[in-house]
């Protein structure tokens, strides 16, 4: 594809702004409505690839369109359209002007973000997850690269490619059977690693990993060996974030550690409870006791 590509006579691809395992993301123009959009295209795998893998990848891509389109919240990327052109599946989304948290950390020299920024990100993501979970959707791949902070400060979750709707329990099994990775090791919950059923509390664990990283500069189990990372999530208690950063408020340190509890029932009950705790901590007197 190039800058002369016109999808369905409507979406003109202007500039490639991202590339990943599943495809490419382009800055594009919706010529019908005269607006800038982002177009995500699924790369054709070709005949040399196993057809079951191809079908699963296409199903995963359609799933992302279906799930994201079902969510209407300022903290979730808006989906405008979905289609197929010359055998290429494409997803049309709002164009996000900002940086994902992975890029934000990289541009900051992998130094921790300021505390007010961490609290703001935590609160906005928790609100978006509350909306998502209340509609029976678990993201399953929450990580810095899938959380974008816009230039106006709004935080949005994106990439619902392996999300699971509560009424489709067979989808994960079908993808797993093709060998498609179901999460990112540095941010996977213990139950996800163990292949157990997951609910919204798995996303809360992943959010805990993300907050740990933006608060300290590194994820809780920052190891080169994938197996060691997975074992760390399953068996090792993380060092408190304040051990790396003394200026971190006590309530935020406690929230992050609670999100990283090994067992789901030891974490906050749900994202609404997490929002409540963040708000209570943020508004409490600076030297008062940390909220429980």
Residues whose CB is less than 8 angstroms from the CB of residue 199 and which lie 6 or more positions away in sequence, other chains included: 133, 138, 264
Active-site choice (30, 86, 141, 222): 141
Active site residue 159: no
Q: Give the position of tokens 């590194």.
A: 218
Closest to 38 measured CA to CA, from 98, 113, 87, 107: 98
Q: Distance between CA atoms of 100 and 23, rounded to whole angstroms?
A: 18
Helix, strand, or coil here: 182? Answer: coil
Phi/psi-derived region of residue 19, left when phi > 0, alpha when psi is between -120 and 50, beta in every other case: beta
- The kind and range of the H/E element at 55 are helix 51-69
- The pair of structure tokens assigned to 57 is 């990848």
Is-contact 110 217, C-beta < 8 A?
yes
Q: Distance between CA atoms of 215 and 208, rounded to whole angstroms?
A: 10
What phi and psi values does residue 187 have, to the nearest 5 degrees?
-130, 15
Q: Distance between CA atoms of 161 and 25, rounded to whole angstroms?
A: 14
Report in angstroms the alpha-carbon separations of 87 from 16, 84, 107, 238: 19, 6, 37, 46
Q: Distance between CA atoms of 212 and 8, rounded to whole angstroms?
A: 43
- The kind and range of the H/E element at 209 are helix 200-216
Closest to 126 measured CA to CA, from 203, 190, 199: 203
Q: Distance between CA atoms of 249 and 267, rounded to whole angstroms?
A: 19
- Which residues are known to be catalytic? 141
């Amino acid at each position: 594809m190039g800058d002369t590509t016109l999808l369905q006579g409507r979406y003109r691809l202007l500039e490639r702004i991202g590339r990943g395992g599943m495809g490419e993301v382009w800055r594009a123009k919706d010529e019908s409505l005269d607006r800038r959009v982002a177009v995500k295209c699924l790369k054709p795998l070709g005949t040399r690839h196993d057809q079951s893998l191809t079908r699963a990848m296409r199903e995963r891509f359609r799933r992302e369109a279906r799930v994201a389109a079902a969510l209407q919240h300022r903290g979730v990327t808006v989906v405008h359209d979905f289609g197929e052109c010359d055998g290429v599946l494409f997803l049309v989304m709002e164009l996000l002007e900002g940086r994902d948290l992975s890029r934000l950390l990289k541009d900051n020299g992998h130094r921790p973000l300021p505390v007010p920024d961490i609290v703001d990100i935590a609160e906005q993501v928790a609100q978006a997850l509350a909306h998502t979970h209340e509609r029976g959707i678990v993201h399953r791949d929450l990580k810095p690269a899938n959380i974008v902070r816009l230039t106006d400060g709004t935080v949005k979750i994106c990439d619902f490619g392996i999300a699971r709707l509560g009424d489709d329990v067979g989808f994960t099994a079908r993808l797993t059977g093709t060998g498609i990775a179901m999460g990112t090791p540095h941010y996977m919950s213990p139950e996800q690693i163990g292949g157990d059923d997951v609910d919204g509390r798995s996303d809360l664990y992943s959010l805990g990993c993300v907050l740990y990283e933006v608060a300290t500069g590194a994820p809780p189990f920052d190891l080169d060996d994938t197996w060691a990372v997975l074992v760390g999530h399953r068996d090792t208690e993380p060092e408190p974030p304040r051990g790396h950063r003394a200026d971190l408020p006590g309530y935020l340190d406690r929230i992050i550690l609670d999100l990283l509890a090994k067992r789901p029932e030891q974490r906050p009950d749900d994202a609404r409870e997490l929002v409540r705790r963040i708000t209570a901590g943020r508004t409490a007197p600076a030297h008062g006791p940390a909220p429980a």
